[in-house]
């Protein structure tokens, strides 16, 4: 259960990161609210997972999932440039996350 919650928390990290960018310095209400809710839920899920999983593993997976999805979202919307190198590095990051799960 901790791994599932951790993955969902990583997804929520990407949600709040995108919302933070869209909030334009907290001047737009809807993205600011999404940011606040996403951040609280993401942190709560990370804290829950850390009850069972090691700190370093939990944090690495949380950040890795969030960063990968944030970059992928940016590429999908055109806000981030797409390149083979970036895609390979993101796949490497996902591979490392899977490796941490398998090593656990």
Write the pLDDT tens digit of every residue in 24-47.
999 999 999 999 999 999 999 999
User: What domain range includes position 11?
Assistant: 2-103
Reply yes or no on whether the pLDDT at 104 is more than 90: no
* Beta carbons of 21 and 9 less than 8 angstroms apart: no
* Beta carbons of 50 and 62 less than 8 angstroms apart: no
- Distance (Å, rounded) from C-alpha 42 to C-alpha 9? 4
At 37 the pLDDT is 98
Percent share of the chain, pLDDT over 90: 96
**Sign, CA torsion 46/50/53/54:** positive
Domain count for the chain, please give it.
1
pTM, to two decimals: 0.91
At 13 the pLDDT is 98
| Spatial CB neighbours of 67, under 8 Å, sequence gap ≥ 6 | 14, 93
């Amino acid at each position: 259960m901790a791994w599932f919650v951790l993955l969902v928390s990583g997804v929520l990290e990407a949600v709040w990161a995108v919302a933070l960018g869209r909030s334009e310095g907290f001047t737009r209400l809807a993205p600011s609210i999404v940011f606040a809710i996403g951040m609280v839920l993401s942190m709560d899920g990370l804290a829950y997972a850390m009850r069972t999983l090691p700190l370093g593993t939990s944090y690495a997976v949380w950040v890795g999932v969030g960063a990968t999805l944030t970059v992928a979202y940016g590429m999908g919307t055109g806000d981030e440039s797409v390149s083979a190198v970036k895609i390979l590095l993101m796949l490497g990051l996902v591979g490392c996350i899977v490796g941490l799960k398998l090593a656990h």
